[in-house]
Amino acid sequence: MYLVKTPLLLKKLYPGLIWNQNREECCIYLTFDDGPIPIVTPFVLKTLKQYNAKATFFCIGDNVRKHPDVFEQVKADGHTIGNHTLNHLRGWTTPTATYAENFKQCDALLNTVWFRPPYGRIKKQQIKALNILKPGLKIVMWDILSGDFDINLKPEACLKGVLKYTGNGSIVVFHDSLKAYPRLEYVLPLAMDYWSKQGYEFKSL
């Protein structure tokens, strides 16, 4: 079970995390989790370039190791890089020491102040531990969850949800993964075309 639009109550429970950007700006902040990988990440990069868009890629360290050429292309295109742990760990079921070490190993590869917890699951003691490890760390959640990872969600429904709830300052989650690709390939170009015609800019964090 997941919600496309993050409830205000959840944002208030974790005020130290980043859920959205300035609501006064006509900007959308696209983010992509779980890459980099061949085929899917290059498709995203090509689509972004068509709209002169910048985005933020929360990378799994193990995928960076496996696909360094794809990772270098993300950087070369001027997008922001974020840490998504080395092995996509689920915070709620992972001991804090293990979680922090996995984060640290990924940080050794990426050296970035941006972090998103996989699945959006992180314990308060883990937040504290990561902030000690990386002073100035910015933990990013989201305003809009596209649901592109849901294999039971039709692409048309995915697009409808994203367009319905995205607005000024929204941080939108997509996934540059093989699992999400059937929906991402359909939704991303159509959504960006729609938003672009509405006057939105696309910025990275």
Q: Specify whether 33 is catalytic.
A: yes
Residue 18 near residue 141, CB atoms below 8 Å: yes
Residue 132 near residue 125, CB atoms below 8 Å: no
Q: Output the six-digit token pair for 52.
A: 């002169």
191: alpha, beta or left, given left = phi > 0 and alpha = psi -120 to 50?
A: alpha
From the list 150, 175, 176, 193, the catalytic residue is: 175
Tens-digit pLDDT string for the chain (205 aa): 688 999 888 898 898 999 999 999 999 999 999 999 999 999 999 999 999 999 999 999 999 999 999 999 999 999 999 999 999 999 999 999 999 999 999 999 999 999 999 999 999 999 999 999 999 999 999 999 999 999 999 999 999 999 999 999 999 999 999 999 999 999 999 999 999 999 999 999 9
From the list 33, 34, 143, 176, the catalytic residue is: 33
3-class SS of residue 33? strand
Q: What does the alpha-carbon distance between residue 9 and residue 32 come to, in Å, rounded to a whole number?
A: 24
Q: Specify whether 62 is catalytic.
A: no
Q: Output the six-digit token pair for 145.
A: 């969850």
Residue 98 near residue 122, CB atoms below 8 Å: no
